[in-house]
Each structure stands twice: as C-alpha cells, then as structure tokens.
A and B are shown apart, each in its own frame.
Chain A
Amino acid sequence: MRILIAVLLGVLIAGASSFAVVNAANSTPDPQVKPLYHYGTR
C-alpha cells in the first residue's frame, strides 16, 4: 500500500514539476490590455 501511495505521489510530483518547468521555459507574458477609449496615460 505504501509503495502504491509513493508511486502515485511520485507521478503527481513528476507531472506537476514537468508542467512547471515547461511553462517556465516557454513562458510568454500575458498580453497587455490596452484601454480602448482613453485619451492617454499619465
């Protein structure tokens, strides 16, 4: 049982960390939302 839990935790941790690494490597900034109707910005 403990081995099964360890395997599951390992899969979860490996999945989460690989997702985080891929996102960190290919991160793109959120597109800047330019206000539609404004005259300018101070």
Chain B
Amino acid sequence: MLSYDLVFVPHPAWTGAMLGLSGGFPRQVPSDAVAAALGHLLPGDLVEKALLLAVFAVAAAGAARAVPGDRLAPKLAAAAFYCWNPFVAERLLLGQWALLLGYAGLPWVLTARTPAGLARALLPAAVGGFAAWNVSALVVLGRFTARPRRIAASLAVLLGLALPWLVPALLAAGGGRTDPAGVDLFAPRADTPFGTVGSLLSLGGLWNAEAVPPGFGSWPIAAGRLLLSLAAIAAFAVTLRRTRDPLLAALAWSAGAGFAVACLASLGPGRALVRGLVGFWPGFGVLRDAHTFVAPLALLQALGVAFLVTLAVQRALGALGAVLVAAPVVLLPTLAGQLRAVDFPADWTRAQQMINADPAAGYALALPWGGYRNYAWNHGRTVLDPLPRMLARRTVWNDGLRVGDRALAVEDPLARDADALLRAPGPLTGPLAAAGYRYVVLAKVGDPGEAALRARLAGARTVLDGRDLTVLRLDGREPAPAPPGVPVLPVTTGDILALCLVLWSYGTYATTLVGTPRTSR
C-alpha cells in the first residue's frame, strides 16, 4: 500500500536522512530508520502490514485497559471507538502511520504509573517521531495535573525519547526553516456540514480534502457522528464529576488543550498568531498541523462511549449497549477498501539495484521536481516519492510541499540549490555534475514537461529507460562536495541515550509490556 506518507519500499536503504543527518527538518526520524531496520529482517510489505496492525492492536488494547472495571462491553466499545473514528481514518488515508503509532500509545501514556512505565508507554511515540511525540507530550503534561509527583523524572523521560529527532532539529535550525504559509495550508478545515469546530468535535477536520472517507461529509453520517461525539463528551463529563478521577481530569485537560489549539489554528486571528509564531521561530512549526492535537479528544470520547455503555448495561438496555459498540463502524463504513496493495514496477527495483551497486560517490536527483506523485501503477493515488528510501546515496527531492495551487518553500539546503538550478533556463547536465550529482532519476508520471526536462539533460548517459522510469548517469562529474548536514556525533549520542532509556525501562519491569494493570484509582 502506498498512500501519501505511507511509503514502504523493498530492500530499504540505510541513509543519513533517516537519522536526521541531512539537514532538513527531521519529520521522518526515527520512524524511517525503524522501518528500514525491520525491512532488513522482513519484506517491506510485511513490515508495513505489521506496523499498521500494531497501531490498531496497541490502540484497542490501550483504550480497553483505560476503562475502569472488568465489564467486557464498555471495554469493547472504547476499543472500537478509539480504533475506528474519523481521526484514524483520515490520518490513515494520509499515510501517517508514524503519528498513529503515537496515537495508539496515548491510553498507555495516560495510565502509566512510574517513570519507567511512562518510558515504555511512550515507545510507540518515540518510534513515530516528531508528530507522535507532540500529541503524547500533551497527555504527559495533562498527567501532571493528576500526579504532580515525579514531574522532573517524567519530563526527563519525555525529552530523552525525543532526542533522536530533537538533536538534529536543533542542530539544523540554522539551515532549516519552516514556511509560515504552511499554517494556512495545514489548518483544520470543515469536512462536515457543521463547520470546522463541529468537524473537529466529530474528530474530523483534517486539512486535506482528498483524505476524507467517502460519505463522511453527508448529513446523516455527519449528524450521527456529531451526536455520538457529543453524547460521549457528556457521559465523560458526568462520570468525571461523579468520580473525581484524577486520570479522567488529566485527560480532560489534555483533550481540552488540544482541541483549543486546533480551534485556534482554524480561526482567522488565531491562525495569524500561529503564523507569526512560526515566522518568529521555526520551532513553533509544531503548531502547523494543529489537527493532530485532537488525538486526546478521541481518547476522551472513547472513554465516554464506554461510560454510556456501562450505563446502558446497568439499566438493562443491552440492545442500546450493542448499538453503541457497533456505532463507530456503522457511522464510518467506507474506510474499508480505500487502501489497496500494489507491487513496485520492475523498472524501480532495477534502478534501485543498479544505482546501489555503483561504488562511485555522488548525489541522486529525483525528477520531475515534485515530492508527491500520482503514479499510474499506484492506481493514481498520491504518494510521496519512494526513491529516497530506496537509494543508499543522498537523494535530493523537492520537499517544498504543494497544497492546491500553493507551494511551500523548499526546506532541505541541497534541494534549495537544486530548485534554483531547475528554475534557471538552459542545460542541466553540466551544472548538476558540477554540484556533485551522479544520477538523475526521471519518473514517468505523464507530465507534459517530461520531454523538455529530458532535453535539458542532453549529454547524460542513459543507463535505464523503461516504461516507468529513466535513469541518467552524469559521467565526468566533479568530486561530490561534502553535503550540508548536521554533525554525526551529537546525533548518534542522542540516539544511543534514547535507546538506553528504552532498555532501562524494559529492564526495570521486564515482565510487562507497558505499565501495570490499572487496579485502583
């Protein structure tokens, strides 16, 4: 399956970009490295399926475990709701498996009782990287309202597991940048008839209109979803007021804060404020895709549905309980069948083998100059260019995202140079060779400008010309200059420290997967 950011390739290559050494913002760190490591043990498609399955298994088990009591029906309801809701559907269609790993870990983070348990609960978020860590941090901060003790230890765990992406992000801050225009492009949008706030309350509201499950915006489905969400929030509030459970209070704080951030980014003045913050310091880019912060609200609603089912069972309304358990699937039936498996064309794997077998140094340039492609062999579904994950050498691609007719600034320093070369008229072969490029890989996506682009590469040697791909080699190039990037030592030190933290957490409680059962409050 290849869909937007969901990119798993056969025989993934080890690259510095997977560890954040290439200089751009390390959004794919360390999730790509983990996927590549697993890809050396199992075929890429199996790794993908296992990770997606892990998202659902960890999320369902965590949501069920977070429901107090031993009754099965409320636990089933919470698990079904937490696994099958618009947030999961839209992020899954957008291919953001790394974020969903963090989402799956949220109930475990909420209920972890010790710093070591918290470290284990944060493992999915640590694997997921930047976005997964952000939503998990919101829940960790909420926990401080419930368990004010061990704040320093919890913060140390949180920061320690962020080191793999935090260190390269800080070291790349001079060369990296975040385009403030992204705040407008990635702000939540209304995907139901109830406006942006109503969509966010229903756990929809993703910025991308193409990643909305079919039928989700129709009146009956959207109204049913919103009613279920409001009923769940009401049940959660009543239970919180009745029990004064500190963990529920912590979750209410996290969900409220996350919802407020998402609403802030969707309203005009709030969006202007976020844009100003991102322009002031790129670190505020964390607020760019504010829809991610709705994740704790999904957990709150899942527990709310469980409380509704408990109430129904207590009042001998078993049928109502069964309806509530099935409601998430009934109200979002069209997610199934949206993702289909595809095989990589032979041209791609041949190009991969050929280029990776070449011992000569030099970069590879991915053309046409657009990061996301609609390949015919992928049924026309948009996907991020798989090439950088297939080639062992530094592969330069256009990371300036395009949404609709607007494009964000290119972030990677090498890509910025390539962007300038491509925008200038005239032949490309000489300038690219002088800049240290060894290969140009030209994917055939039906772009009318492909022939003109090929003409600008006259003189380059064609080493593969298939139906889906052309590979050109730039012989006689200059020695590749040292690529801009970040120092290896601090980055690997951060990786080792995070790994030690994970090993310590499992060494402390070797017999449990994540935390101890929630037996009392």
Residues of A within 8 A of B (CB): 34-42
Cβ-based interface call for B170 (8 A)? no
**How far, in angstroms, from A41 to B208 measured CA to CA in the complex?**
5
Give chain B residues whose Cβ lies under 8 Å from the Cβ of A42.
185, 189, 207-209, 403-404
* B398 / chain A contacts, CB cutoff of 8 Å: 37
In the bound complex, what is the Cα–Cα distance between A21 and B258 (angstroms)? 57
Chain A-chain B contacts (Cβ-Cβ < 8 Å), number: 56
Q: How far is the CA of A41 from the CA of B185 in the complex (A)?
A: 9
* Chain B: interface residue total (CB-CB under 8 A): 27
Please give, as numbers and ranges, the residues of chain B lying within 8 Å of A41 by CB-CB distance. 208-210, 403-404
Contacts of B94 in A (CB 8 A): 40
Query: Cβ of B446: which chain A residues have Cβ within 8 Å of it?
Result: 36
The A interface is mostly helix, strand or loop, or mixed, namely loop
CA distance A39 to B405 in the complex (A): 10
Is B380 a contact of A38 with CB atoms below 8 Å?
no
Asked if A38 contacts B447 (CB within 8 A), the reply is no
Q: Please report the C-alpha to C-alpha distance between residue A42 and residue B209 in the assembled complex, in whole angstroms.
A: 5
The reply to whether the CB of B221 lies closer than 8 angstroms to some CB of chain A is: no
17 further A-B contacts with Cβ under 8 Å, apart from A37-B402, A38-B403, are A35-B402, A36-B368, A36-B374, A37-B368, A37-B370, A37-B372, A38-B382, A39-B402, A40-B207, A40-B210, A40-B382, A40-B403, A41-B210, A41-B404, A42-B185, A42-B189, A42-B208
Give the distance in Å from the alpha carbon of A39 to the alpha carbon of B211 in the complex: 10
Distance in angstroms from B126 CB to nearest chain A CB is 26
Chain A residue nearest to B380 in the complex (CB): A34
Q: In the bound complex, do residue B368 and residue A38 qualify as a contact, i.e. CB atoms below 8 Å apart?
A: no
B371 interface residue per 8 A CB criterion: yes
Interface membership of B277, Cβ < 8 A: no
Q: Does residue B401 face the partner (Cβ distance < 8 Å to A)?
A: yes
Interface centre among A35, A38, A42 (most CB of B within 10 A): A38
Kindly list chain A residues whose C-beta atoms are within 8 Å of the C-beta of B210: 40-41
Pair A40/B373 contact, Cβ less than 8 Å: no
